[in-house]
Chains A and B, each alone.
Chain A
Amino acid sequence: MKKIICWAFLLCLQVAWSQTYNISGYIREATTGEELLYASVVVENTTQGISSNEYGYYAFSLPPGDYKLTFSYVGYHSQTISLTLTGDQSLNVDLVALSTQLEEIVVSIENEQNVVTNTEMSVLSLSTQEMKAIPVLFGEQDVLKTIQLLPGVSGSSEGSSGFFVRGGDGDQNLILLDEAPVYNPAHFLGFFSVFNADAIQNVKMYKGGIPAQYGGRASSVMDVRMKNGNMKQWQANGGLGLISSKLTVEGPLKTDKASIIISGRRTYADILAAPFLKDFDDFGLYFYDLNAKANYILNDKNRLFASLYFGKDVLSTGDFGLDWGNETFTLRWNHVFTPKLFSNTALIYSRYNYGFAINNSGLNVALTGGIYDFTLKQEYRWYRNPDSEIRFGWQAIFHRFLPSNIQFNEAEQNSSQEQNALEGGLYIAHDLALSSAVKLNYGLRLSSFHNRGPYVYRQYDAIDNIIEETAYTDNDWFNRYFILEPRMAMTYLLDSSHSVKLSYNRNAQYLHLLSNSVSGSPTDIWLPSGPAIQPTLADQLAVGYFAVLNDQAYQWSVEVYYKDLQNTVEYEDGAEAFGNKDIESQIVFGSGRAYGVEFLFEKTQGDLTGWLSYTWSRSQRLFDAINQGEWFSARQDRPHDLALVGMYQLSERVFLSTNWVYTTGDAVTFTTGKYFVERELVNIYSERNADRMPDYHRLDIGVRWLLRSKRMNQSELNFSLYNAYNRRNAYSIRFDTNTQGQSQATRLSLFGVVPSISWNFSF
């Protein structure tokens, strides 16, 4: 009898589910038609709530009945829609921005409705509003510098856009621009990033709890989405600054059907310096980049996107030149099979390359290298029922690693061999509400990596002599890795304002960036995993407590994490990287661990907004060949990292912002003695990274002043002071001798106080 009741109950449930109807559509910005990513949809008087996906699409199902749906997004008026659900319903919603005036700027690191309820943790999400509100070096708004003000993310060096996430290495961050990997996100050796804030719509960073759809890097994913372009009307905006200028034009190719956006930026340090360098031909010191994107809504079920990025840095004189740059191209097709099944198919091309040449007085050296990627991926999102969403897909990336090719006078040498590899990923993840209080996201990613010839695999003895060679031809697939990467995140809702979250993820990384300098160089070499280089593996466990307070005016969170790293790769001490065809003989392998506590408190509403971010963390490494096999601090091991960000509305047209940062100094190796070889001072070093640079702190101040203009929609002046109290933070410390032959420590500071001004406009 019990069995029959049970069967009957299940049948009723089945019938009940079958009597639900779908509500789906896109959430858009009202004036531009731009999709709003990760916007929130809540069904009033229920516990149900979801977010739009990374294309602005949402879908869920409800039983027949009367409902009130509230759509909201940070910085926009919420919109509540009443409806009577009697069948499947398509519902596109346009949200209206609070205002374009400064006083309405709302700053939040994550959509506050979701921060407590969803299963994601260790996630940072930024819109261009946050980026534009915060003062930065040279007044150039920069997502990579803004994100360094958040817990768990630290900059690689003064003024740099390079970053470390939760103690991971710099190459362990997957940086995606419209799904295309960006291998070097730095302009001007890191002082600027490749991301033009005017072309960016949204940035989302996963420090942990990395979902199954992402793979290929050990520590983090930074998913940057470009704007789609205004679907309603043509508009232009831009800016003139001391260092660079930019212009963005966007508009409808066909109203509400197709749009395009083109955004360009160029620095002009060379033009400013030209009057002082009249005697030198072809002097160049600049970067430029171009973002372009077009999209076309074919019909309710199909949409095409094509996006492009092209950027280049140039430093040249008549007989010396260095350039490097990224190119990405993404072609995407969004297809809605049914309201419950959404798919995205993407074809992606990404390239990073560099070139360096000297042709001067008998010294003719040229260096080239790079990496190419061709990616095909498909993803499906199946919105099964209100409590269950399944995401699955696959991707294949064909990597081509160009060797670091060096020409010296007439001779030519490769630092590494050209290599080819196919990286694959197959994944499935299930977002499941187990009850009104417990939500679970669990998934599995199967990643693979196959090396392909031609390639000569060399094995070396302890003193780097070749002891065996195996040659592979064009058609040989000679090495395979398959790694299962479980991903899991769970939320336990204590009440509507408080939750506890837990996440675990394993990530495999098959690409390794080799750098023999502390701050990195454009010519650093990417090498694939292979017979001699194992993939890096990261396992991370995180626990967090999340809360929103006072009608969501405040939110705070605390997260604890532990990350274990295996097979991390470094150059050995004194590695000969230049012109060494046996570069793999110069590599050592080790492991690492990173752990810490992150605290974030945000005030998101009112005249005064901002956040306080504090991280206590450690990051350590273990290599047999380094530090006598003992654990040592990674350079980015900075136990204390504090950022205080404040934005204050002074008047209708004046907006003040400030941030103060403090971090423990980098872990570095100071000399413990000296000797001389032929008059040259040679320092002796003991423990690796056992010393500390002086602590780093800095105050930045910014003022945005909205100008009155009849001809423009908006015109504003931005003033900023970087390092306002002129702190001489050490970029490096050199140990050498002075002219009297006495040993001394010399500190190099990159920036004192740096004022800047820029004018931004839109019409």
Chain B
Amino acid sequence: MATNFNNRFSIFLVFAIISLSWGCEDVIELDLKDAEPRLVIAAGLDVGLQTLDVQLSRSTPFYSLDSSSLVSDAQIELRSPTKTYTVAEIETGRYQATQIEAVSNDSFTLVIRVSDKSYEAKATVPTAAPLIDLEQIELSDLPFRDPSAVRLTALIEDDPTTKNYYRIQLFQSGENISEGFTVFDDVFAPIDTDFSVPIRETFMPKDTVQVRLLSTNKAYYDYFYQLALVTDPRSNDITPFNPQGNFDNNALGYFGIYHASILEKIIE
């Protein structure tokens, strides 16, 4: 499972103890070194939609007020075993290609050229696993929790003959409300029944929630697993590191291929 329970409960414990003592947080100013900006690539191929979306930006200094510095005028190609697609810039820093034909186990190569430098990543089309149902479960009482909150469990039709990797995203009114990144593999999937995965976010009655399950490949999973580790606000106990994406040439980010399966639920 992607969520790092080891750290979670050690941090939970630390916080429990802190709450019983005199712990406090305050914002401090640090004189940080600024590294050279690096290209950040977010590229995802949705097999069902036959669409590749790419966003290019550059990293910024930590205290910079710019959330991102988008990169225009890149030349982007997507190569399948049989065809090469040109990815066009549809708005500043955002690129897209449509009508991409992809079947399981096809290998794609994404090539991006920016300012005479070339960046390349490979990814393989994963096996699709549909999201079958969303079950609502009442939460039992825990300290500091709203008693009317509920949790959802996603039921997945996992293929036991292959090793599968997943990511879950949550949306409300079209807005991504996921807390961090939730990725997991099928190591705990039962062989003879559907794979039941609890969703960590909680919801209130009358909420309308859209759950998007991405069946993805290992490289995508690895990258988002590492992102989950370093971005979890409770995981500041982890030795810092840079998540390793699948692009070469010191680019940050990833190129992932996934099947998306979406269900909507109105919380009762």
Contacts and interface: CB of A to CB of B under 8 A. Distances in A.
A579 interface: yes
Contacts of A75: none
Q: Which of A408, A574, A731, A750 has the most CB of B within 10 A?
A: A574
B13 A315 contact: yes
Nearest to A747: B28
A671 B62 contact: yes
B185 to A, nearest CB: 8
Contacts of B242: 573, 684-685
Given A320-B142, A752-B24, A675 B40 contact: yes
B205 to A, nearest CB: 15
Contacts of B226: 573-574
B233 interface: yes
A318 interface: yes
A15 interface: no
A275 interface: no
A671 B32 contact: yes
Q: Which of A363, A669, A753 has the most CB of B within 10 A?
A: A363
Contacts of B146: none
A683 B137 CA distance: 35
Interface string B187-220: 1111000001010000000000000000000000
Nearest to B27: A744
B243 A574 contact: yes
Contact of B25 (A319, A365, A518, A746): A746
Given A578-B6, A675-B60, A319 B253 contact: no
A679 B176 contact: yes
Q: Which of A191, A684, A732, A748 has the most CB of B within 10 A?
A: A684
Given A573-B241, A735-B62, A517 B252 contact: no
A588 to B, nearest CB: 12
Interface stretch (A277-285, A421-429, A528-536): A277-285
Interface in B113-149: 135, 137-143
B81 interface: no
B142 A360 contact: yes
A679 B176 CA distance: 9
A315 B16 CA distance: 10
A483 to B, nearest CB: 29
Given A189-B17, A361-B140, A362-B151, A574 B40 contact: no
B241 A189 contact: no
B188 A517 contact: no
B143 A362 contact: no
A608 interface: no
Given A362-B196, A672-B62, A728 B24 contact: yes
B238 A322 contact: no
Contact of B6 (A517, A635, A679): A517
Nearest to A686: B35
Nearest to B67: A676
A670 B233 contact: no
Nearest to B149: A361
Given A669-B240, A733-B30, A684 B38 contact: yes
B156 to A, nearest CB: 13
B37 to A, nearest CB: 7
Given A189-B17, A728-B24, A573 B244 contact: yes
Contact of A675 (B68, B135, B151): B68
Q: Which of A283, A518, A688 has the most CB of B within 10 A?
A: A518
B187 A516 contact: no
Contacts of A574: 222, 225-226, 229-230, 241, 243-244
Interface in B1-50: 1-7, 9-10, 13-14, 16-18, 20-30, 32-35, 37-38, 40, 42
Contact of A578 (B5, B32, B231): B5
Nearest to A404: B6
B239 interface: yes
Nearest to A322: B9
Contact of A680 (B27, B135, B180, B241): B180
A676 B33 CA distance: 19
A362 B153 contact: yes
Interface string B145-172: 0000001010000000000000000000
A277 B143 contact: yes
Contact of A269 (B1, B20, B151): B20
Given A408-B188, A517-B6, A750-B21, A360 B140 contact: yes
B107 interface: no
Interface stretch (A52-60, A246-254, A409-417, A558-566): A409-417
Given A361-B137, A516-B239, A673-B62, A317 B38 contact: no
A367 interface: yes
Contact of A523 (B6, B29, B140): B6
B140 A318 contact: yes
A685 B241 contact: yes
Interface string B64-81: 110110000000000000
A145 to B, nearest CB: 16
Contact of A677 (B1, B20, B236, B253): B253
A411 B62 contact: no
B27 A362 contact: no
A86 interface: no
B59 interface: yes
A673 B61 contact: yes
Given A411-B190, A752-B22, A356 B9 contact: yes
B61 to A, nearest CB: 6
B181 interface: yes
Contacts of B137: 361-362
A339 interface: no
A675 B57 contact: yes
A191 B155 CA distance: 42
A674 B142 contact: no
B240 A683 contact: yes
B237 interface: yes
Contact of A672 (B35, B40, B176, B227): B35
Nearest to B18: A750
Interface string A683-706: 111101001000000000000000
Contact of A674 (B2, B62, B253): B62
Contacts of B244: 573-574
Contacts of A668: 240
Nearest to A277: B143
Nearest to A413: B187
Contacts of B140: 318-319, 360-361
Interface in A236-283: 269, 273, 277, 279-280, 283
B236 A734 contact: yes
Given A681-B231, A682-B231, A683-B62, A319 B28 contact: no
B151 A743 contact: no
A527 to B, nearest CB: 15
Given A578-B5, A684-B38, A734-B236, A747 B25 contact: yes
Contacts of A675: 38, 40, 57-60, 68, 252
A322 B10 CA distance: 10
Contact of B23 (A691, A745, A750): A750
Contact of B138 (A361, A406, A523, A736): A361
Given A749-B24, A750-B18, A673 B10 contact: no
7 contacts: A315-B16, A516-B238, A521-B7, A679-B176, A682-B231, A751-B23, A753-B22
Pick the 8 closest A-B CB pairs, nearest first: A573-B241, A408-B188, A672-B35, A574-B226, A521-B10, A411-B188, A752-B22, A363-B198
Interface of B: 1-7, 9-10, 13-14, 16-18, 20-30, 32-35, 37-38, 40, 42, 57-65, 67-68, 135, 137-143, 151, 153, 176, 178, 180-181, 187-190, 196, 198, 222, 225-227, 229-231, 233, 236-244, 252-253
Interface of A: 188-189, 191, 269, 273, 277, 279-280, 283, 285, 315, 317-320, 322, 356, 360-363, 365, 367, 406, 408-411, 413, 516-524, 573-574, 576-579, 581, 635, 668-686, 688, 691, 728, 730-736, 738, 741-754
